[in-house]
Amino acid sequence: MKTLLEHLRVLRHTLQRLLLTPNATLLNILIIGIALSLPVGGYVLLKSVQLLGAQISGTPQISVFLATGTSDGDIERIGDKLKQHAAIQRIEFVPRALALKKLQQSSGLSDVIGGLSQNPLPDAFIIYPKDDSVAALEALRDELNAWQHFEHVQLDSAWIHKLEALLNFGRTAVAILAALLSFALIAITFNTIRLQILTRREEIEVSKLIGATDAFIRRPFLYFGLTQGLLGGIAAWLLVAASLQLLNYQVGALAQLYASNFSLQHLSAGDSLTLLGFSAYLGWLGAWFSVSQHLWQIEPR
Amino acid sequence: MIKFNQVYKRYPGGHEALKNLSFDIAEGEMVYLTGHSGAGKSTLLKLIAAIERPTSGSVLVKGQNIRSIKPAAIPQLRRNLGLIFQDHKLLFDRSAFDNVMLPLQICGFDPRESAKRVRAALDKVGLLEREKANPIALSGGEQQRLCIARAIVNRPTMLLADEPTGNLDSEYANEIMNIFKSFHQVGVTLLVSTHDENILRQFPARALHLNKGELQA
Ligand SMILES: Nc1ncnc2c1ncn2[C@@H]1O[C@H](COP(=O)(O)OP(=O)(O)O)[C@@H](O)[C@H]1O
Ligand SMILES: [Mg+2]
């Protein structure tokens, strides 16, 4: 109870001190907010792109185009063999006539196709594998390539893996950015607290003389770092939220042209809490470094 | 209460501020510390509050040896002492009231209970009407009394005062000494450094006389 009251007193004192120099406080919070909003914004964009990729690609599949002139009997035997394959979940046969009809319906090329004297499309199987990892898909594709009567084996979702690789690259870049800017945040807090300790030198000295523990002297500075970090985190959250709002307005118009309902995802509740917790922690850490560095230099004489 | 045994204090640079001091101060006793400027009075008081450490010999304060005291134990030691500094060491960024409040905050006192104690301490030194004033607006005598209020608000059993009447004219000096006398009467141990002959005459008590860092009989 006694300690709780003491913590509340320090917290109130910290807020008063923040309000005492509103311009400096606002500037610090804004700098921290902008620094944090860059990696957070990158993270949000990556997450949306990843979601979009998953939406478009669906389950990965392999298309097999048969050599022209494969007999109906061969097709049947191949179909049975595929169905019994351990790595294949199910298959779908697309006869060349059906493929042509689908193409005519979907592509708006019906005039051109109608003018063709014969059907140029091959018969095809669409194969849905059990395991959709890249390695398994590629192994299956290579295996099928060697089969008789198969003209061409195509991994339809290869691009999603390229996207995945690209996303991984993006994630690494965001992580590096986050690490660098975290250091910046710690440095900003370190310096703010250093200046505070200098200006409050006398108070620290007197407090030590009349029996203040190190914890008591450290506490207001740690609270200040924590609070400033937290406010910076809130600023970053607001910046990201506002930017997404603005971007989604544009994305909405763009998506409409492609008849898609794609929009950029905002930070989830969990992500938001992580952001605030992390920024508060970094502020605390910066203050802690600063206090450990500078406080011992002030000894009463 | 306080026991010095063959205490030497040499400052970095080689100056020997205290030489071979041995004396006792009993609980409830009032003792003067006299001597010329530079005799080592402040140094002696700093040893008791663990602001400086003896170079050799032992300084016992309530049974605790300052020479070997752990840094973590120093705050508790100082809370049991009331320190009155030669240069006041008041904080000019806050009111008189808040200056006296500081020791209670440090001890983690309940704020409401603290406010009562602060007013009682200010009343004792006759500064209750000035509680909202900034110490910089107070006269020299008032600043010294504010410093005393801060030292006693914790109700310590021992007061150490370093030339509390140093720059005051005799009227103010007597006021301060009367306050100390009243503490002595309720059992507080007092160690007061001074070189004011008038005070020694008007408020007689045992005196330890320092000369160039040595105790004179
Ligand atoms: N921090 C210090 N470093 C070096 N010498 C000091 C220090 N403090 C005091 N002294 C020296 O120690 C001697 C005693 O000083 P002090 O205890 O302040 O005497 P007093 O309080 O009786 O005037 C003086 O010669 C002074 O110069
Ligand atoms: Mg002195």
User: Could you report the per-residue pLDDT of A40-83, keeping only the tens digit for each?
Assistant: 999 998 888 887 777 666 667 788 888 888 888 888 888 888 88
Mean pLDDT of A237-246: 93
> Is the distance from CB of B55 to CB of B8 less than 8 angstroms?
yes
d(CA A226, CA A220): 10
3-class DSSP assignment, residue A128: strand
What secondary structure letter does DSSP report for A200?
Answer: T
- Answer whether A211 sits within 8 Å of B79, measured CB to CB: yes
- Beta carbon of B39 within 6 Å of any ligand 1 atom: yes
Q: Which amino acid is at B25?
A: I
Q: Which atom of ligand 1 is nearest to the CA of B37?
A: 23
Q: Which amino acid is at B35?
A: G
Dihedral (Cα; B68, B70, B71, B73), 10-degree rounding: -120
Cα of B40 vs centre of ligand 1, distance in Å, is 6
> Is the distance from CB of A48 to CB of A148 less than 8 angstroms?
no
- Beta carbon of B14 within 6 Å of any ligand 1 atom: no
Fold observed for domain A59-156: Alpha-Beta Plaits (3.30.70)
Question: Where residue A146 falls among pLDDT bands split at 50, 70, 90?
Answer: confident
Q: Is the pLDDT of residue A278 over 80?
A: yes
Rg (CA), chain B: 17
Mean pLDDT of A18-27: 87
3-class DSSP assignment, residue B35: strand
Nearest alpha carbon, ligand 1 atom 14: B40
Q: Which amino acid is at A119?
A: N
- Report pLDDT for A93: 87
Dihedral (Cα; A175, A180, A185, A191), 10-degree rounding: 160
> How many beta carbons lie within 10 A of that of residue A117, not counting itself?
5
Question: Where residue A231 falls among pLDDT bands split at 50, 70, 90?
Answer: very high
Tens-digit pLDDT profile for residues B165-178? 887 888 888 988 99
Continuous H helices in B90-163? 96-107, 111-124, 140-152
Residue B108, phi-psi category: left (phi > 0), alpha (psi -120 to 50), beta (remainder): left
pTM for the whole thing? 0.77
Q: Is the pLDDT of residue A280 over 90?
A: yes
The closest alpha carbon to A48, from A262, A283, A291, A282, belongs to: A262
Q: Where does residue A271 rank: exposed (0-12), middle (13-18), buried (19+ CB within 10 A)?
A: middle
- Report pLDDT for B59: 96
Ligand number nearest CA of B37 is 1
Question: Where residue B3 falls among pLDDT bands split at 50, 70, 90?
Answer: very high
B146 or A153, which is more confident: B146
User: Over the range A217-254, which residues count as b (16 or more CB within 10 Å of their CB) and which as e?
Assistant: bbbbbbbbbbbbbbbbbbbbbebbeebbeebbeebeee
d(CA A21, CA A214): 26
- Beta carbon of B215 within 6 Å of any ligand 1 atom: no
% helix, strand, coil for chain A, step of 5: 75, 10, 20
3-class DSSP assignment, residue B10: strand
Cα→Cα distances A179→A36, A183, A274, Å? 10, 6, 15
> Is the distance from CB of B40 to CB of B8 less than 8 angstroms?
no
Q: Please, where in chain A does CATH 3.30.70.3040 lie?
A: 59-156
Mean pLDDT of A183-206: 92
Cα of A52 vs centre of ligand 2, distance in Å, is 77
What is the predicted ipTM? 0.92
Q: Which of A89-93, A109-113, A176-180 has the lowest mean pLDDT?
A: A109-113
